[in-house]
Amino acid sequence: MARYRTHSVAFQRHVVQAYLAGVTLRGLALRHALSRNLIWVWIVKHEAGALDEDV
């Protein structure tokens, strides 16, 4: 059994796109039961191109 939840890249992109559209980190964290720090890590990865479809 996995110790931690894993999230698909598609879900990560969905959350990042919502943030870029103006939803707050706090709002996203509450809506999806995620850590704000985790969402921030995904945003940084997105900016670096690590969440692109061809990667």
pLDDT beneath 50, residues of the chain: none
Helices (H), ranges, the chain: 9-20, 25-32, 36-48
Instruction: At 16, list the tokens.
Output: 């990042």
Domains of the chain by residue range: 9-48
Q: How much is the pLDDT for 4?
A: 84
Question: pLDDT value at position 30?
Answer: 97
Distances (CA, A) of 3 to 6, 44, 51: 9, 24, 23
Task: Look up tokens 């890249």; give the residue.
Answer: 9
Q: What is the pLDDT of residue 27?
A: 97
- What pTM, to 2 d.p., does this model score? 0.86
